Amino acid sequence: MNKPLLNVENLTKHYAVGTGFLKKSIPLVRAVEDVSFSVEKGETFCIVGESGCGKSTVARLLMGLVQPTAGHVLLNGTDIAGLRGDELRASRKSIQMVFQDPYSSLNPRLTAAKIITESVENFERLGRKQREALAGELLTKVGISPDAMHRLPSEFSGGQRQRLGIARALALNPSLIIADEAVSALDVSVQAQILNLLMDLQQETGIAFVFISHDLSVVEHIGHRVAVMYLGRIVELAPCEELFKTPVHPYSEALIAAAPLPDPTRVRSEVPVEGEVPSPINPPSGCAFHPRCPLAIERCRTSVPRLVRMTDGRFVACHVRAPAEEGFAGPTAADEHLQRAVP
Ligand code: SF4
């Protein structure tokens, strides 16, 4: 089996809250706990979950914008989690980001051409003609006329600004783009155009996406595989089609049951889930979902369920729906097949 493009192993991020008084322990926000997955070339790997589940922290960790407390992020076999300075800058050539807000993520004083080519000019000097040729090529790729390259961001619509953000991300010819809520600020019709653009670019260039979203209909449309996160942990990881057809984890089931159905003839089970997401500063013991879970048993209150590989190849962390057999070695970072696409 070929090595995956991206291998995330046991990624963990804790933030200290305030300072300890008289050497008392400092409270921690457990934003990301022991997250492992891999992404293949040309794949769209989605991460979903409610606000505060840790999905955006995972995006920042993958980009090297924050340092992990533990774990590894291997891009083409190189651990980029600990890189700094020039090495981190060099790794950015392969991994780029598209942000949620297409306006605030663009410098309002720079022209479209400058915005798009800025990242390239961090590595090499471009003359005016080179810059305009590159900007024209990338604008065409994202469906904007090259004639618009001298305009400022304020002269574009919201959808066009997101296209500019995508053109900027493509400028260094990356192998992976992290898209963090990249369409959630756009109108539904514009969302569809941007999603189709991303899928076309993937077909054309073989680029991979880590697509982070709270919107399940978007994920169902664009994703190959999906990880469902709850309070910093992955609770289910499966091919998109299977997750939406037959979710196994009670939280995945509740999320999907609550999402609007694009097809009125489809029926989803109603799974009651009550209450709010608990605080990551003081998460519930055992399975963090147990205070909201209709299937919780005594063991759920005391023991954290491991992510277990099921016979159909998906991974689920649940004592009831995916009980780990005694002696079963759950997936570890050393498992070469860890949470990879089901062949
Ligand atoms: Fe519910 Fe228990 Fe499964 Fe957690 S481990 S999802 S509380 S049944």
CB 333 less than 6 A from any atom of ligand 1: no
- The pLDDT score that the predictor gives to residue 340 is 52
3-state secondary structure of 124: coil
Query: Contact at 8 Å (CB) between 29 and 14?
Result: yes
Per-residue pLDDT 10s for the chain (343 aa) are 567 999 999 999 999 876 655 556 677 889 999 999 999 999 999 999 988 889 999 999 998 889 999 999 999 888 987 777 888 788 878 999 998 887 788 999 999 999 999 989 988 888 999 999 999 999 999 999 999 999 999 999 989 999 999 999 999 999 999 999 888 878 888 888 899 999 999 999 999 999 999 889 899 999 999 999 999 999 999 999 999 999 999 999 999 888 766 665 655 555 556 677 788 888 899 999 999 999 999 999 999 999 999 888 899 999 999 887 533 444 443 344 445 554 3
Closest of 304, 283, 288 to residue 27, by C-alpha: 283
CB 319 less than 6 A from any atom of ligand 1: yes
Angle at alpha carbon of residue 170, lines to 41 and 69, rounded to 5°: 65
Q: How far is CA 252 from CA 54, 226, 309, in A?
A: 16, 11, 16
Phi and psi at residue 335, to the nearest 5°? -70, 115
Whose C-alpha lies nearest to ligand 1, atom 5? 318
Which residue has tokens 């981190």? 88
- The pLDDT score that the predictor gives to residue 238 is 96
Q: Which long-range CB contacts under 8 A does 147-155 form with residues at least 24 apart?
A: 148/112, 149/111, 149/112, 149/113, 149/116, 150/111, 150/112, 150/113, 151/111, 151/112, 152/108, 152/109, 152/110, 152/111, 152/112, 153/103, 153/106, 153/107, 153/108, 153/110, 153/112, 153/115, 154/108
3-state secondary structure of 273: coil
Q: Does domain 6-94+177-183+202-261+268-339 have CATH number 1.10.10.60?
A: no
Closest of 114, 223, 96 to residue 170, by C-alpha: 96
Length of the chain measured in residues: 343
* DSSP tag of 277: P
- Helices 188-205, 158-170: axis angle to 10 degrees equals 20
| Å from CA of 149 to ligand 1 middle | 53
Query: Contact at 8 Å (CB) between 250 and 271?
Result: yes
Which residue has tokens 């914008």? 65
CB 300 less than 6 A from any atom of ligand 1: yes
Q: What is the pLDDT of residues 256-313, one digit of tens each?
A: 888 766 665 655 555 556 677 788 888 899 999 999 999 999 999 999 999 999 888 8
| Cβ-Cβ contacts under 8 Å for 77 (sequence gap 6 or more) | 3
| Å from CA of 300 to ligand 1 middle | 6
What ranges do the domains of the chain cover?
Answer: 6-94+177-183+202-261+268-339
Radius of gyration of the chain (CA): 21
Can you read off the two tokens belonging to residue 97? Answer: 């980001």
| Å from CA of 58 to ligand 1 middle | 23
